Amino acid sequence: MSDTVLPPLSKLIFPAYLTFIRGIKISDDDIKISQEFSNVTIDVDNLKAYKEYFNFKSQLPVTYIYIVAQRALLHLMLHKEFTIAVPGIVHISNEVQLTAQFNIDEKIEIKASIHVPVKEGSLFPKAEIIFYQKGVEVARNISNYIAKRKSPKKSSKRKENVSTFGLDSFREEWVIEKSIGKSYAQ
């Protein structure tokens, strides 16, 4: 495993916001980024506060795994090869699996990857974050996203055809009482 340190989420949020400046720039090749993190630990105090806030009873709620996975994913999205602005990417599905072997007191190794197949129209990034302890997979998070790409075609301003009911011109005038809106709402 790599010695890359998994940064806290608080150090990733602002840089992720700044990716808005780059917009979406896609080449002809798929975007594939992967990275490994070692010596990741569960912050026991943070986990305790999380469990208390949401009234979770289990030792490690499955949803907490997503929070750790999000750190790895956001770290990947900040790579220069990931040429899609993070703001505007929409999360469309998430799958989290947790095994009974997960031990919150042991260090975790994480293998994280993101793949964006390049095609016309919308882009569908898929992220896989896999957690290991002592070489055994103990948790997995798979997230799917959508990123809308601007069309390369310029939008044309079409002249709108206004119907005049087949007449050269058409005019109609309505007189509505002031209280009609209030009575309609009641």
DSSP string, 77-125: HTSTT--B-STT-EEEEEEEEE-TT--TTS-EEEEEEEEE---SS-B--
Report whether 6 contacts 40 (CB < 8 A).
yes
**Numbers of helices and strands, H then E, in the chain:** 4, 5
Q: What local confidence, expressed as pLDDT, does residue 4 receive? A: 78
Which candidate, 6, 124, 11, 12, places its Cα nearest to that of 78?
12
In a 3-state reduction of DSSP, which class is residue 70? Answer: helix
Report whether 117 contacts 156 (CB < 8 A).
no
**What is the CATH T-level fold of the domain 9-146, as seen in this structure?**
Thiol Ester Dehydrase; Chain A (3.10.129)
Report whether 50 contacts 66 (CB < 8 A).
no
Q: What local confidence, expressed as pLDDT, does residue 157 receive? A: 60
User: Does position 143 have pLDDT exceeding 90, yes or no?
Assistant: yes
Q: Which of 123 and 153 is assigned the larger pLDDT?
A: 123
Listed by start position, the domains of the chain span 9-146
User: Does position 81 have pLDDT exceeding 70, yes or no?
Assistant: yes
> Per-residue b/e over 124-144, b at no fewer than 16 CB within 10 Å?
ebebbbbbbbeeeebbbbebe
Longest dimension (CA), the chain: 82
Residue 147: pLDDT band by 50, 70, 90 thresholds?
A: confident
91 forms beta bridges with: 145
32 forms beta bridges with: 115
Report whether 60 contacts 104 (CB < 8 A).
yes
Q: What local confidence, expressed as pLDDT, does residue 165 receive? A: 64
The whole-model pTM stands at 0.73
Q: Which of 133 and 16 is assigned the larger pLDDT?
A: 133
Percent of the chain with pLDDT over 90: 42
Across the range 44-61, mean pLDDT stands at 93
Report whether 127 contacts 76 (CB < 8 A).
yes
Task: Dump pLDDT digits (tens) for 61-70.
Answer: 999 999 999 9
User: Does position 152 have pLDDT exceeding 70, yes or no?
Assistant: no
